[in-house]
Structure 1
């Protein structure tokens, strides 16, 4: 096992009994599950991004809009056994108008696939992360038995997130359905101990993995002992935790997997999202970002040293922006030096005015007293005035009251 807590203090939620005696969750439990899964994938503790993610039992794909906004994800597989529900919710997978207006920095491919969670197919190779929320309780025993073989034996993802109902919470859901469960398609509902036993058995069978447990949907204050309404297991491969792998990762399908070379998931829909291809060199990206920040800082009073008549911008101002480019302070300094941007100690030194910035020109250089017009600096006659892009006054009929001057 390993210890895990959601970053930034976890979720802010509440649970209460309404006037009719029903239990209510705020936000709804399904939102808490989705948000928790996304925050686990985004957690910086892993030290890396997950590029290829599969969402098993995706149903109407309500998790997808959140998944596709997780930085680093470039390939999402939405998998469900119900072809009709995939087709009827296909619009959720299509790019929005905003995706074309504000293009992604990285590629993203989304595929809707009809298939079972226990089928070891080629489309599942090289998956980094598995999300399987509220699906295992819907599986028949044989399918459930094959799930660990497929995921931890065949796929071997870096991380896998499972959730399932906590049956101890059912005392607050009386009466239950005729099958004794919360949903008419549930084949079982486990206590916390049963879920933990299942997860720990997986880690014994596949020793490259360790597991941590969470829950979403808190019980009311006077029922805390029953745990959360939904329980979560996070399986992390040891190399993701900075530990040595017990066994080498397999490059071939293990014999105990439910695999068939001729079996593939049925593709219902696939789409590639628009994205920008940035062909700038790393040095050019650093320079462009530095110049943008320099221009911004020249308009911030606290950086201006009035005694010296210059802006002194701390190099630390650039840290966050440069890190997003995967660059170091040393690389930044080299780029600044190569482009004649002055650095003294821990500060970038900027002149009070940028000669290329028209907003900083002195009024004395820009105002023509004779004609009463603003003009480019250095133009002192009619010919120069026209050449510099100023206003020609060859027509004596032009006045300030002329409609043409209200520009």
Structure 2
């Protein structure tokens, strides 16, 4: 086992009894399960992101709207045995208009697949994370028996997240269904100790894994002894918990389940999301970012050295960007030198104004007091003064009297 706590203090949730005496949860328990799953996947403690994720028993795919926005995920498999359910909820997997207007910077492929959690299909190879929320209690004994072999023997994901009802919490539900459970399709509902035994037995058979337990859906303050309404097991591969153990533990795992060449889940739908491809060279990216920072920093007073009359922009303002694109400071310096951008003592040196920057010029520079014109070109020689010459301020010449609010009433 290992110890695990949700980052940032966990969830803020509560349980209460309504006027009819029924227990309620705020937010609803299914939302707590979904947000907890995403927070586990995004937890920086793993030191990595999970690119390929499978969501077993995805049903109506309500979790998908969160998964598709989860950092690092590039490939999502939504798997369920109910083909009609997958087809009727296909719209949840389709790109939105916003996905075309603001394209992703990383790939995302979503596949809807008809298949069972105990079947070792070829599409499951190289999955990083397995999600199995509220599914194992729906499985017949033989199917449940085959699940560990498929997930921990064949797939061997970096992490796997299972959730199931905690039967100890059922004393607060009234009434239960005729089968004694919360749902008419449940084959069992486990206590915390039963769920723990199941998970630890998996780790004993597959020693490349350790497990931690958490829960969502707190009991009311005076019922804390019954645990949470939903119990969660987080299986983590030992090399994820401690990278130095990678080879040692993976060599102990017996992969006794191999896919047949013909073993495939049935594909119901698949889509690749639109992606923005930045085809600029590394040098062009560095130059563009440098010019952007130069433009930005020229408007920040703290970078202006009044004694020298120049802006001094620290090269460190570009540090994060340089690292993100895999460049070095030496490569940046070469790009700056090749484009005549001065660097001295770890600073980019900028004149107070760019040579082609007229933004600092005042209107008084363009107004001719003697002739009453917003113009500094030669004035008309005829008596009416109606020459159609452009003035230095970029517009046609106007007298003071002509330059009124009404003359710009159609400015927009």
The verdict on a shared fold, with TM-score over 0.5 as the criterion, is yes
* Alignment partners' CA distance in 2, 1:333 and 1:41: 38
Is 1:361 the equivalent of 2:371? Answer: no
CA pair 333-197 structure 1, distance change in 2 beyond 3 A: farther
Query: Which structure 2 residues correspond to residues 330-345 of structure 1 after superposition, within 5 A?
Result: 331-333=331-333, 335-345=335-345
Query: Which structure 2 residues correspond to residues 91-240 of structure 1 after superposition, within 5 A?
Result: 91-240=91-240
CA pair 339-399 structure 1, distance change in 2 beyond 3 A: same
* Alignment partners' CA distance in 2, 1:322 and 1:75: 27
Q: Could you tell me how far 1:300 is from its partner in structure 2?
A: 2.8
SS in structure 2 of the partner of residue 154 of structure 1: helix
CA pair 59-99 structure 1, distance change in 2 beyond 3 A: same
Residue correspondences, number: 399
CA pair 237-290 structure 1, distance change in 2 beyond 3 A: farther
Q: Is the 8 A contact 2:375 2:392 kept in 1?
A: no
Give 1:263's aligned residue: 263
Give 1:74's aligned residue: 74
Q: Is the 8 A contact 1:150 1:258 kept in 2?
A: no
Give 1:244's aligned residue: 245
Gaps of 5+ in 1: none
* Alignment partners' CA distance in 2, 1:110 and 1:363: 57
Q: Could you tell me how far 1:9 is from its partner in structure 2?
A: 1.7
Is 1:60 the equivalent of 2:60? Answer: yes
CA deviations on 1:4-33 (whole Å, 9 max, x unpaired) are: 222222222222222222212111111111
Query: Which structure 2 residues correspond to residues 39-54 of structure 1 after superposition, within 5 A?
Result: 39-54=39-54
Q: Could you tell me how far 1:347 is from its partner in structure 2?
A: 4.5
SS in structure 1 of the partner of residue 40 of structure 2: helix
Q: Is the 8 A contact 1:169 1:227 kept in 2?
A: yes
* Alignment partners' CA distance in 1, 2:393 and 2:361: 18
TM-score by length of 2: 0.86
Q: Could you tell me how far 1:289 is from its partner in structure 2?
A: 2.5
* Alignment partners' CA distance in 1, 2:228 and 2:263: 38
TM-score by length of 1: 0.87
Question: Which region of structure 1 is more displaced relative to structure 2, 164-173 or 303-312?
Answer: 303-312
Larger radius of gyration: 2
Q: Could you tell me how far 1:170 is from its partner in structure 2?
A: 1.3
Question: Which region of structure 1 is more displaced relative to structure 2, 260-269 or 51-60?
Answer: 260-269
Question: Which region of structure 1 is more displaced relative to structure 2, 84-93 or 7-16?
Answer: 7-16
* Alignment partners' CA distance in 2, 1:218 and 1:181: 19
Question: Which region of structure 1 is more displaced relative to structure 2, 242-251 or 123-132?
Answer: 242-251
CA pair 118-352 structure 1, distance change in 2 beyond 3 A: same
Question: Which region of structure 1 is more displaced relative to structure 2, 152-161 or 339-348?
Answer: 339-348
SS in structure 1 of the partner of residue 245 of structure 2: coil
Gaps of 5+ in 2: 381-386
* Alignment partners' CA distance in 1, 2:145 and 2:135: 13
* Alignment partners' CA distance in 2, 1:374 and 1:10: 67
* Alignment partners' CA distance in 1, 2:251 and 2:292: 45
* Alignment partners' CA distance in 2, 1:239 and 1:339: 47
Give 1:286's aligned residue: 286
Q: Is the 8 A contact 2:374 2:393 kept in 1?
A: no
Give 1:23's aligned residue: 23
* Alignment partners' CA distance in 1, 2:351 and 2:24: 61
SS in structure 2 of the partner of residue 58 of structure 1: coil
Q: Could you tell me how far 1:42 is from its partner in structure 2?
A: 1.4
Question: Which region of structure 1 is more displaced relative to structure 2, 44-53 or 93-102?
Answer: 44-53
RMSD: 3.2
* Alignment partners' CA distance in 1, 2:364 and 2:389: 13
Q: Could you tell me how far 1:276 is from its partner in structure 2?
A: 0.8
* Alignment partners' CA distance in 2, 1:348 and 1:18: 65
Q: Could you tell me how far 1:351 is from its partner in structure 2?
A: 3.1
Q: Is the 8 A contact 1:215 1:230 kept in 2?
A: yes
Q: Could you tell me how far 1:273 is from its partner in structure 2?
A: 0.7
